[in-house]
Structure 1
Amino acid sequence: MNKEITKRIPSLDGLRAISIFFVIYDHAFRPSLINVGYLGVNVFFIISSYLIIQILLRDVEKNRFSVKMFYFKRIFRIFPAYYTYLIVLFLVLNFLNIFKWPQFWRAPLFLVNYQPRSDWAFPQWFVGHTWSLAVEEQFYILIALLFVFVNKKILKKERLLFVFIGIILAVPIIRISYLYFDFIPDILKGSNHRSFETVADALAVGGILAIKGKDIQHHKWFLFFKNKIGLLFLIVLLIMVLNSPEVVEMFGLKPRYLYNLVGLTTINICVGIIIMILVHFPKESITSGLLNNKVMITVGLWSYSIYLWQQIWLYSWDFPLIFKFIGILVCSVVSYYFVEVKFLVWRDAFLKRNEKL
C-alpha cells in the first residue's frame, strides 16, 4: 500500500467523511437555510492546505523541495480519478443526448470556478461541483511557486505567516466588492464564493495552521475550546444562516455583507480550531469516537471519489434516492480502488525506482 494512504491522520479522515456527508445532503435535499455543502467544501480546503503546506515546509527543511516533484505527485493524486469521471460523464451525457459543450469545456481545464452570470442559463450541474477542484489545482500551482522563494531563502518561512494573514484580510474585501460594485466584470461577479481570490482565505487559514499549529495548541484560548467542538460547530451554523435567502428576504443584503466580510473568516477560524483539536488531541476530543470509527475513516479515504461521482447520481433522475446513494457508493468504491489506489501505487513505485538510480 502506498505511503500517501497509510500515513494519514484518522481524525481528519473522519472529518472528511462528515464534510462529504454535508455535500451529499446539500445536493440531495437542497436546504435553503444553511448551505452545508459549501461548509463541507471549505473544510476540505482548510485540511488540504494544512497538509500540503506541512509537506512543503518539511521538504524545504530537509533540502528536498522540488517543484517538478510536487507537481508530479499532485497530478498522479488528482488527475486519474478526475479525468476518469469526466470521460465517463462525456460518454453518458452523449448517450442520453443531453451533453452541452458550454457546460462542459471549463471542467477539463480546471476553470469551472470562473463562470460568468451570462452562462448560468446553461445547465452546469454535472460539472458544477468541479469548481472546488479547480481552486485546489490553482492553489497547488501558486503555493509551489511561492515555496520556490522560501527554498531559495528569498522569502523566510516566518514571513509566510504574514503572507497568509494578508490574504485573510484582503479576501473579504474582494468578496464584498464583487457583491457591491457594478463595474466588476461579469465573470468575476458570477464567480463570487467560487473563484480563487474569493475563497483563498480558507486556504490561508490552513497555511497558518501548518506554520503555527504546534504553538497554537498551548494558547489558553485554544485550550478553552479543546472540549467545545460542539460550540464551535454551532457558531459556524449560526453564521451560515446570515447568507440564507430567508434572512436576506427579511433583513435585506446587510446580513449577507456581514457574512462575506467577517462571517466566512470566523467560520474558517472555527474550522481551523476544530482541525487543530483533532490533530493535537485526537483521543481527548468528545468527537474522537465518531471520527476515529473505522467506517468514518474509510468514508474519508473514499471522499475524493465520492465527491466526484455524487454529482451525476444526484441529478434530477426519476428514480428513488436510495438507488442514487447505492450508485454513488458503487462508483466511488470502484474509482478509489481501481483508479486512485492503482495510480498512487504506480506513482510511489516509480519514485522508489528513481531513488535507487
Structure 2
Amino acid sequence: MKRLPNLDPLRFFLASLVLLFHLPQLAANQGLPYFDALPIFHRGLEAVYMFFVLSGFLIIRIIYRAKIREAFSIKDFYIRRILRIFPLYYLVLGFGLLFYNVILPFLNIPFEINYTWKEALFYNVFFLPNVFAKIYEPGGIIEILWSIGIEEQFYLMIAPLLFIINVKWILRVLSILLLGYFLLYWTDVFEVLRKYTFVFFYLFTGGVIAILEEKKKLEFVKRKAIFPLLICVATIMYYITDIFMFEPLWLRSLLTCFLFGFFIHSLAFNNRGVEVNSKILNHFGSISYGIYMFHAIVLNAVVFLFLKLEILQNLDKTLTVILMLLLTFAGTILIAHLSYTYFELYFLKLKNKFRK
C-alpha cells in the first residue's frame, strides 16, 4: 500500500513535542536550569493524543480496505502489529526495569521502588502499562509506555470487532462506538476510564475519518482550499498558544478529536498538492517510534552528565538549557536511527510475509 503523504514528518514533529514536554520537567526536578515558558513546551500529552488519532486513522483504513478485498486476516494483522511494536517495547521495558532497580542503586542514586518484579511484568506484559504507570509511578523511562498500552488494548478490541462486522456496517458501528464511548468516558460513573487514560475515542475518531474518506463522504471539504487552511492554522494555534486550553475538558476533548482528525485528513488527502518531500524529515518520521521510546533514556543520561561533570555545571544557565536540548535531540535521533537500522528493520521486513 502506498504511503500517504506528509504523515511521516508529522510523526517526527509529534515525537519532538513529547521530548520538549519532558525535558524541562526532568531538569526542574533535578534542580537544573530549564525553559518552559512557551505553550509548545506543554503540549506533549496532546501530541500523544494526535498520535492516537493517526493510529486509528491508518489501522482502521488498512482493515477496511482489506475487508473490501475480502482479504482481512486477524492472524496476519496481529503478527504485523507484534513485529512493529513488541521488539522495541520490550527492549525499553527491560532497560527501564534494569535502570531503576539495578543501575540507579549501583550509582547510589535514590529512587523509590514500590512494586515487585512480578507486578511489573504482569501489568506490562499483559498490555496494561497505563495502569502500572498510574499506580506505581515507576519512572519516566517506563511511564512513557502507557501510550503503547492504549494502542495494544485498542488493537485487541478492534480487529475481532471489524472482522465479524459486515463491511457496509463498519462506519455506522464505529460512529456509535465513538459517541457511546466518549459519553461513558466523561461520566462520573466510569471515572476509572479517565483515571487510567483509556482514551480510545481518539482512535475511533481517526477510524471514522478514514472510512468517511474511503467512502467518498468528505469530497465537500476538498472543493475549497479554505477548509484545509483553516484546519491547519487552528491546529498550529492549538500547539503554540493557549487559546484552546479552555474548560470543560470534555468539550476540549471533543474539539481535539475532530480537529486532529481533519488535520490528518488534510495532510494526507486534502493537501492541495503541498507535500513534504524532505528525505531527512521522512526518515525522522520513520524512526519516530524509536524517538518516542528512547527519548526518556537519553534525557536521563544528559541530565546525569550535567549533574556530575563540573565543566557542565559552570555553564551559563541559558547555554545549559540550549545544550541540554541539543544533546537530547541529537542523542535521541542517533539512537533511534541505529535502533531502526540495526534492530527494528529486521522485524519490519518480516511483516511483508504477512501481507495479502
Deviation of 1:109 (Å): 2.9
CA distance in 1, matches of 2:220, 2:66: 27
1:167-178 superposed matches below 5 A:
167-178=177-188
1:25-40 superposed matches below 5 A:
25-30=20-25, 31=36, 35-40=42-47
CA distance in 2, matches of 1:226, 1:277: 6
Deviation of 1:37 (Å): 0.8
Rate the CA distance shift 1:269–1:221 in 2: closer, same or farther, 3 A. Answer: farther
CA deviations 1:97-119 (Å, max 9, x no partner) are 258472844333321222586x3
CA distance in 1, matches of 2:163, 2:209: 20
Of 71, 74, 78, which aligns to 1:67? 74
State whether residues 23 and 41 of structure 1, in contact with CA within 8 Å, keep that contact through their aligned partners in structure 2: yes
Deviation of 1:307 (Å): 0.7
- Structure 2 partner of 1:227: 229
- Structure 1 partner of 2:291: 306
Correspondence 1:218 to 2:187: no
Of 195, 210, 213, which aligns to 1:190? 195
Deviation of 1:218 (Å): 1.6
Among all aligned residue pairs of Structure 1 and Structure 2, give the percentage whose two residues are the same amino acid: 26
Name the Cα RMSD after superposition.
Answer: 2.9
Deviation of 1:239 (Å): 5.8
Deviation of 1:23 (Å): 0.7
- Structure 2 partner of 1:333: 337
- Structure 1 partner of 2:142: 127
Rate the CA distance shift 1:239–1:216 in 2: closer, same or farther, 3 A. Answer: farther
The code of the aligned residue for 1:95 comes to: I
The code of the aligned residue for 1:218 comes to: E
- Structure 1 partner of 2:249: 259
CA deviations 1:165-223 (Å, max 9, x no partner) are 22332344334334xx6xx67x65532xx22xxx1111111111221114244215874
- Structure 2 partner of 1:202: 202
- Structure 1 partner of 2:158: 143
Unaligned runs of 5+ in 2: 26-35, 106-110, 307-322
CA distance in 1, matches of 2:113, 2:331: 23
- Structure 2 partner of 1:88: 95
Rate the CA distance shift 1:239–1:131 in 2: closer, same or farther, 3 A. Answer: farther
TM-score by length of 1: 0.77
CA distance in 2, matches of 1:210, 1:60: 14
CA distance in 2, matches of 1:91, 1:209: 41
State whether residues 232 and 270 of structure 1, in contact with CA within 8 Å, keep that contact through their aligned partners in structure 2: yes
Correspondence 1:11 to 2:18: no
CA distance in 2, matches of 1:128, 1:240: 27
Deviation of 1:334 (Å): 1.7
Residue-pair matches, total: 311
TM-score by length of 2: 0.77
The code of the aligned residue for 1:113 comes to: N
Rate the CA distance shift 1:259–1:80 in 2: closer, same or farther, 3 A. Answer: same
CA distance in 2, matches of 1:116, 1:222: 45
Correspondence 1:51 to 2:58: yes
* Matched position secondary structure for 2:131: coil
Deviation of 1:14 (Å): 1.2
State whether residues 245 and 252 of structure 2, in contact with CA within 8 Å, keep that contact through their aligned partners in structure 1: no
Correspondence 1:161 to 2:171: yes
- Structure 2 partner of 1:275: 264
